[in-house]
């Protein structure tokens, strides 16, 4: 009988031979699987990013509107004129505030999910966090426009709670106020937080999930009260997750051009500036220079996070 031999007969057919070959030389399979995505990432994605970077070193001829293909830093100098620099400053401040607020709101939710939610409640948590991602981004933003509008439900709730004075006082504040929430920076801020929240919750939850429960107990056992345990154990160990989440919320806010266009004052953010410069204005070099700004800021941010030891616990 054939089963009496300890080496079973060779699989016949091309597929059988192929899987034998892959088993003996696993690197061939890895090479075949990775080549297409690496080509995509390396050539098409990074290549076009590089082309964009190159554009920012060209300038535009003010009279003809044609691109002048000589190396110059003039376009970057243009970023520093007050009207353009305000756009950058406004976007960076908004992105920073959105990131800080998202982290503060996301942490307790992520903590609950990682430490306490089990079984059914974990499913409900994931659904609750992911569900907003299943509907169109535009639909959500327009829904918020209605919620925040002067005739919207939020104004109505404030009136029912006899808190209209509070809302009015808030809206009368300079810079962050406006004639209604939907056309104020406050509104833009609220919607940014809402839309990016899942991107902050999930990495923090993943980080907290990896913190063994007995480290919390060990800290308490050694005399650390809950605040000390948070500061010296929980926060440092969750930091990689917070940094990962903040990279999402920060960079997404830096680049977004839809939310500030629909909700908020008409003042521009970086994303809108890029959109306007490459579209109607046709100033590709300036659009490119604007889009380099978030890349540089993110690079600086990651470098600083690494220096602070944010990734040591990875």
Partner 1 sequence: MTAVLFQQVSRHFGAVRAVDSVDLAIAEGEFFAMLGPSGSGKTTCLRLMAGFEQPTGGHIEIFGETAEGVPPYRRNVNTVFQDYALFPHLSILENVAYGLMVKGVGKAERLKAAEEALAMVKLPGYGTRRPGQLSGGQRQRVALARALVNRPRVLLLDEPLGALDLKLREQMQEELKSLQKSLGITFVFVTHDQGEALSMADRIAVFSEGRIQQLGTPEEVYKRPKTRFVADFVGSSNVLPPDFVESLGFGRHHASLRPEAITLGDGPGRKQFSGRVTASSFLGAANRVTVEANGARIAAMVPASTPVPAEGATVTLSFLPEDLHTMDGAQ
Residues at the contact surface with partner 1, assessed by CB under 8 A: 212, 214-215, 217-225, 228, 232-233, 236-237, 312-313
Residue 152 or residue 224: which is nearer to partner 1 going by CB?
Answer: 224
Helix axes 120-134, 185-209, angle to 10 degrees: 140
Q: How far is the CB of 118 from partner 1 (least distance, A)?
A: 13
**Which H helix or E strand runs over 128?**
helix 120-134
Cα gap 21→10, rounded to integer Å: 12
Q: How far is the CB of 298 from partner 1 (least distance, A)?
A: 24
Residue 86 or residue 217: which is nearer to partner 1 going by CB?
Answer: 217
Residue 77 or residue 232: which is nearer to partner 1 going by CB?
Answer: 232
Structure tokens at 149: 């509008």
DSSP 179-241: SSGGGSHHHHHHHHHHHHHHHHHHHHHHHHHTS-HHHHHHHHHTT--HHHHIIIIIHHHHHHH
Residue identified by tokens 């306490």 is 116
From 123, 57, 110, 71, select the one nearest 292 (Cα to Cα). 57
Residue 128 or residue 309: which is nearer to partner 1 going by CB?
Answer: 309
Residue 175 or residue 215: which is nearer to partner 1 going by CB?
Answer: 215
From 149, 96, 137, 140, select the one nearest 264 (Cα to Cα). 149
Residue 168 or residue 217: which is nearer to partner 1 going by CB?
Answer: 217
Q: How far is the CB of 106 from partner 1 (least distance, A)?
A: 21
Burial (CB count <10 Å: 0-12, 13-18, 19+), residue 165: exposed
Contact residues for 274 (Cβ-Cβ < 8 A; gap 6+) = 257, 287, 290, 291
Structure tokens at 34: 């990775």
Q: How far is the CB of 241 from partner 1 (least distance, A)?
A: 13
Q: How far is the CB of 224 from partner 1 (least distance, A)?
A: 4
Q: How far is the CB of 260 from partner 1 (least distance, A)?
A: 38
Q: Would you say the C-alpha torsion 210, 214, 219, 220 has a positive or negative sign? A: positive
Q: How far is the CB of 230 from partner 1 (least distance, A)?
A: 12
Residue 229 or residue 246: which is nearer to partner 1 going by CB?
Answer: 229
In this structure, the dihedral spanned by the alpha carbons of residues 294, 297, 303 and 309, taken in order and rounded to 10 degrees, is -100
Residue 31 or residue 311: which is nearer to partner 1 going by CB?
Answer: 311
Q: How far is the CB of 110 from partner 1 (least distance, A)?
A: 18
């Amino acid at each position: 009988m054939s089963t009496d031999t300890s080496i079973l007969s060779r699989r016949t057919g091309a597929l059988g031979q192929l899987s034998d070959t892959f088993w003996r030389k696993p690197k061939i399979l890895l090479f075949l699987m990775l080549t297409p995505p690496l080509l995509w990432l390396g050539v098409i994605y990074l290549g076009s990013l590089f082309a964009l970077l190159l554009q920012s070193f060209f300038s535009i001829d003010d009279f003809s509107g044609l691109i002048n293909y000589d190396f110059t830093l003039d376009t970057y100098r243009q970023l520093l004129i007050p009207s353009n620099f305000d756009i950058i400053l406004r976007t960076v401040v908004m992105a920073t505030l959105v990131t800080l607020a998202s982290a503060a709101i996301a942490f307790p939710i992520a903590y609950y999910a990682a430490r306490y939610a089990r079984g059914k409640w974990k499913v409900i948590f994931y659904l609750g966090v992911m569900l907003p991602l299943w509907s169109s981004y535009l639909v959500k933003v327009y829904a918020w426009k209605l919620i925040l509008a002067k005739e919207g439900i939020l104004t109505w709730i404030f009136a029912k709670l006899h808190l209209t004075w509070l809302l009015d006082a808030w809206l009368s504040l300079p810079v962050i106020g406006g004639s209604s929430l939907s056309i104020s920076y406050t509104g833009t801020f609220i919607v940014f937080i809402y839309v990016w929240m899942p991107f902050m919750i999930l990495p923090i939850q993943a980080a907290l999930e990896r913190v063994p429960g007995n480290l919390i107990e060990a800290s308490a056992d050694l005399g650390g009260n809950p605040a000390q345990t948070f500061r010296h154990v929980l926060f440092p160990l969750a930091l990689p997750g917070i940094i990962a989440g903040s990279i999402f919320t920060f960079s997404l806010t830096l680049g977004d051009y839809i939310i500030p266009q629909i909700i908020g004052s008409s003042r521009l953010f970086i994303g809108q500036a890029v959109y306007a410069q490459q579209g109607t204005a046709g100033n590709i070099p300036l659009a490119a220079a604007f889009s380099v700004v978030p890349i540089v800021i993110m690079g600086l941010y990651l470098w600083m996070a690494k220096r602070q030891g944010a990734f040591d616990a990875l």
